[in-house]
Structure 1
């Protein structure tokens, strides 16, 4: 066989393993586990880090204020040194909409060795703990919650004896680029961190989705978070690892009624979202970067190339293996497209989207070595110490 045919066969074998041996990552059935209403609803503090979110808060904050929670709950919004009036707007929204009480915390610029979001969470959690809540809901400023979101999360945690319950918010999919890139973002995340593996008791795989994390306060104290992960750029995964290492039980699944309302209408917006932390995900390791690029080429790009070149050049084995690998690839993507209510034909575009992610990852590494590191809302983070993302 030709080298191209061997490559296509290798890709097909890789897809066979991904289909059956990677925790059925492609399935979208990991939703909130079975739950019953507790006899007594525990106290909860909702902690919202917010930096320059005046455009988003009018859409997201009212959904938190309107939570239909039977127990005592409050919102602690941390104004992370915003320059657009985020804090004043939050107060006015609370006064206008009523609902859950809101407290505002203003911690100032991050201390040495802290990323901005974790610095904000540190102060928000400290303020919340003054009233000794049993649970903390850590949710981003761009996340909108259905009215029963908090009670459903608490019921799931109480019923399952879980220390951390996280839902991957349904990201906004409206523009053409969002349709092309966003479902693939969640698909690739679940491939790296199969939800079924995460949700098994005693499993080694750990991850969370930072937009919606219900955390038992006792578990946070036991894990020493957020102090123990203060340098983490990918804070949600680091948080889940810290909780699991300290003996906590964690759960992660897809959300049905928790949505991100932040728009990413242009490719440049999505590019920044991915590239700001992609190289940190690879632990800033050139060998891991090289392996990731090679893996993406073999798994995602080789099938359409083998099919096209095989058909044009009469290489039957390459064409057949490439077509089969592409078909398996597209089939595993269909459930995620259904979850995002997108047309099935987009499954065939996954190789192109994977090529974009490859370029975003390489760009993330280039920016790191130029000294720009992970950047978000005017802050740039250099490579953390080893403890930061451990």
Structure 2
């Protein structure tokens, strides 16, 4: 057997292992659990951390304020040191909400104390204010660029109540309109699901935990039990860290799936925007470890780059590995309303992600860390 066939065979074996042993990560039918109908709908506080979000608030905040929720709910937008008039714009939008709309409070916590990331500092302030004013049983932590369908809050609370969940998170459908978004965004969610298979996350006895930070419904009791957000105050990848903290604190039950009525309105029309989105936290995901980075580079090369290279060199084994890869990607492309014939191009996207991860490591070692909207974290 030639060296080419040996290498292709190892890659194919890796794909067989992923296909059979990674909790069917390619599935895109994991949606909200069956909803319950509480005798009395619990109070909910919606906390929105916002830093320089004036461009997206007109697309996201009106839908959040217009939620059709049977119980008491209130929105707290935390203006995290914005310089573009985010807070004032939010107040103007709230003044135009429909009569049945949710009330909005805009507040600002000042600059983060040492050891806190900006988003978690904003959440700390918003959650404390929400507890003081509402005594809410649930907290919906949602980003300023996330647009919610009119019944989103009702559906989230109903599902969490029916399944008795401590944390319920939906992976918002990201925008995939521009050519670069269509190439990179579906793969972003595909890679996330491969790393944190939703089916495994949702098993109560599984140690795998993850959440999608754009839409997290958190039971207030679970937040207090896990010490949220103080216990995760320095986390750059705050959503996954939050889910781990909840799952480990008294065996908290969590759930993660894809969304239908929760969408991101933030545009990433150009490659540099998408590059920064990935590179700012990719190395942190690897624990800022050069050894783990080396293993990641080797793994990405073996799994995603070897199949097309060996297939184009004439190896049928490499072609088989490439075919398996493409087939597992098709459901995610369909979820993002993209044609399935884009699937064989996944190695191109994987190569870009590999370069973004290397760039993330370079930035870290230059002292730039995870940079986002004027702040840099070690």
TM-score (norm 2): 0.98
Secondary structure of residue in 2 paired with 1:97: coil
- Residue matched to 2:69: 69
**CA displacement at 1:36 relative to structure 2:** 2.2
**CA displacement at 1:3 relative to structure 2:** 1.7
C-alpha separation between the residues in 1 aligned to 2:360 and 2:224? 33
The equivalent position to 2:296 in structure 1, one of 292, 298, 321, is 292
C-alpha separation between the residues in 2 aligned to 1:345 and 1:68? 39
C-alpha separation between the residues in 1 aligned to 2:35 and 2:61? 26
- Residue matched to 1:254: 258
The equivalent position to 1:121 in structure 2, one of 108, 116, 123, is 123
1:320 aligns with 2:316: yes
1:200 aligns with 2:203: yes
The equivalent position to 1:329 in structure 2, one of 308, 325, 334, is 325
**CA displacement at 1:308 relative to structure 2:** 1.2
Gaps of at least 5 residues in structure 1 are 312-318, 383-390
- Residue matched to 2:49: 49
C-alpha separation between the residues in 2 aligned to 1:136 and 1:256? 20
Deviations 1:330-381 (A, max 9, x none): 0000000000000111101000000000000000000000000001001000
**CA displacement at 1:38 relative to structure 2:** 1.2
C-alpha separation between the residues in 2 aligned to 1:29 and 1:144? 21
Deviations 1:125-163 (A, max 9, x none): 000001210000000000000000000000011111100
Which 4+ runs in 1 deviate beyond 3 A? none
**CA displacement at 1:104 relative to structure 2:** 1.1
Secondary structure of residue in 2 paired with 1:290: helix
- Residue matched to 2:37: 37
C-alpha separation between the residues in 2 aligned to 1:48 and 1:202? 31
Secondary structure of residue in 2 paired with 1:299: helix
1:282 aligns with 2:255: no
Secondary structure of residue in 1 paired with 2:49: strand
C-alpha separation between the residues in 1 aligned to 2:341 and 2:327? 11
Please list, as runs of the form range in 1=range in 2, the aligned pairs for 1:339-350 lying within 5 A after superposition.
339-350=335-346
**CA displacement at 1:299 relative to structure 2:** 0.3
1:226 aligns with 2:229: yes
C-alpha separation between the residues in 1 aligned to 2:336 and 2:37? 29
Q: How many residues align?
A: 374
- Residue matched to 2:352: 356
- Residue matched to 1:302: 306
1:373 aligns with 2:362: no
Cα RMSD (Å): 0.6
Secondary structure of residue in 1 paired with 2:96: helix
Gaps of at least 5 residues in structure 2 are none
Deviations 1:65-123 (A, max 9, x none): 01000000000000000000000000000001241000111001111000000000000
**CA displacement at 1:2 relative to structure 2:** 1.9
C-alpha separation between the residues in 2 aligned to 1:37 and 1:360? 45
C-alpha separation between the residues in 2 aligned to 1:61 and 1:325? 45
C-alpha separation between the residues in 2 aligned to 1:3 and 1:267? 36
- Residue matched to 1:88: 88
C-alpha separation between the residues in 2 aligned to 1:36 and 1:250? 16
C-alpha separation between the residues in 2 aligned to 1:204 and 1:81? 37
Secondary structure of residue in 2 paired with 1:7: helix
C-alpha separation between the residues in 1 aligned to 2:40 and 2:270? 47
C-alpha separation between the residues in 1 aligned to 2:35 and 2:77? 28
- Residue matched to 1:385: none
- Residue matched to 2:2: 2
